[in-house]
Amino acid sequence: MDYQDLITLGISFGLGLLVGLQRENTKHETAGVRTFTLIAILGTVAGFLTRDFDNPYILPVFGIAITALMITANLVISKRDENPTAGQTTEVAVLLIFALGAYLVLGNQIIAVIIGGTLAILLYIKERLHEIIHKLKDKELGAIMTFVGISLVILPILPDKTYGPLDVLNPRNIWLMVTLIVGISVLGYFVYKWVGKKAGMISNGILGGIISSTATTVSYARNAAKESTLSKVSAFVIIASVTVSLIRVIIEIGIVVPEKLGSLMLPFALLFLFMTVLSIIIFYTVSKDKALEDMPEPKNPAQFKSAFIFGLLYGLILLAVAFTEKEFGNEGLYIISIIGGLAKKDAITLSLAQSIKGGLATDLGWRLIMTGVLANFAFKIVLVGVLGNKKLLKWVGGALVISIIFGLLLIWLWPETWSF
């Protein structure tokens, strides 16, 4: 006896039962729990017959028969009811569960189980999905479509080879980094849409770090300038967002050079812990003050113009790093890190991580990335000084200056042998 076939039947029964339970709960007349379970098993039996008799026609014949049955059932219902409901969700689910039953035999069982589970979840959250879609604004639909275009249309057609005088510009690699940054920002934006307005200033700081710590700094500096009583609260949100942005830096490094993450992340983790302590101290200092009810709503996080500019900046930094390393040695790279950090922390982080992947020494690489991060901290102090007020500058400037000093000490005193 082939116990693997029994296991396959059991999986088929379970998938049909799972999807059928959801359809039964909607009181759909065409198919319920028994029908879906039987169709899943029928698909598996058709798969057995196709495999054992090596006949490619058995499966499509059963599929056509099930389609005919569904059409007949819908015709009967439409003639019986005065106002029949139009829709093909259950019908498509029936065909898919039949195909999954056969795929359990003829294809990859893990993929079939994943698709079956996803089908059940999609059917279950159908109404909630409709509600979410109806609440989307034009800019949010635009963000989704832009991200789809960036990741699924442009990225696959770009050539995966290097160009340029220093042989470091790879169009697909550059656009992959653009996709990564836009994806993180879009994810953070929609998390904000779900929980940001309902949560307190802690979540505002966390979400600000996920979406854009620079944008959060600008927004809250302007808020503090308009309402001086919000200076301490704004300071906490800004410092918290800058602190969380270090996690974003670690994630970016891990995606580009996962094999060296253990040697690179520890100093950034220590800086994160140090700044977390500062954030906690500021939080307890300002917790009795008036809190902001809402985080300022961010702009469209997936604008094609911004993505294109980031790609250009990332490519320019790659060129600058390669040129500086060739002509001036490692010392000149610190200047590039400072300039890159002032311009865009994500760009300098990803470009230097790419250089580490290409052979740049690990101990030098993380120091260069840290230099860029600290330069970005200094840039935020300038932003607060220009856009905020003196009270906000005192809190944010003090916390970030202490953090910069701590980061410089890490660069200077870090033992070469420390890593995970």
This prediction has a pTM of 0.67
Question: Burial level of 161, CB count in 10 A (0-12/13-18/19+)?
Answer: exposed
Whether 418 and 270 have beta carbons less than 8 Å apart is answered as no
Question: Among residues 181, 178, 189, 177, which one has the least CA distance to residue 139?
Answer: 189
Whether 238 and 380 have beta carbons less than 8 Å apart is answered as yes
- From first to last of its 420 residues, the chain has per-residue pLDDT tens of 567 888 899 999 998 888 888 777 665 556 678 888 899 999 999 999 999 888 888 888 998 988 888 888 777 777 766 665 555 777 888 889 999 999 999 989 899 899 988 888 888 877 676 666 667 777 777 778 888 888 888 888 888 888 877 777 888 888 887 887 787 777 767 766 666 554 556 777 777 777 778 878 887 888 788 777 778 888 888 999 999 999 989 998 998 899 888 888 899 999 999 999 999 988 888 765 554 444 455 566 666 777 788 788 878 887 887 777 677 766 678 888 888 887 778 888 888 888 888 888 888 889 999 999 999 999 899 989 888 888 889 999 999 999 999 999 999 988 866 655
pLDDT for the residue 302 = 64
CA 138 to centroid of chain Cα atoms? 21
Structure tokens at 213: 């710590």
Question: How far is it, in rounded angstroms, from Cα 33 to Cα 20?
Answer: 4
Question: Among residues 299, 92, 87, 287, which one has the least CA distance to residue 200?
Answer: 287
- Report in angstroms the alpha-carbon separations of 283 from 103, 238, 290, 297: 55, 11, 12, 22
Which residues are CB-neighbours of 84 under 8 A, at least 6 positions away? 77, 78
Question: How far is it, in rounded angstroms, from Cα 29 to Cα 394?
Answer: 67
**What phi and psi values does residue 154 have, to the nearest 5 degrees?**
-75, -50
- Residue listed under structure tokens 């503090």: 224
> E strand or H helix at 166, and its extent?
none
Whether 393 and 290 have beta carbons less than 8 Å apart is answered as no
pLDDT for the residue 272 = 95
pLDDT for the residue 130 = 66
Question: How far is it, in rounded angstroms, from Cα 276 to Cα 258?
Answer: 25
pLDDT for the residue 199 = 53
Whether 321 and 222 have beta carbons less than 8 Å apart is answered as no
pLDDT for the residue 141 = 77
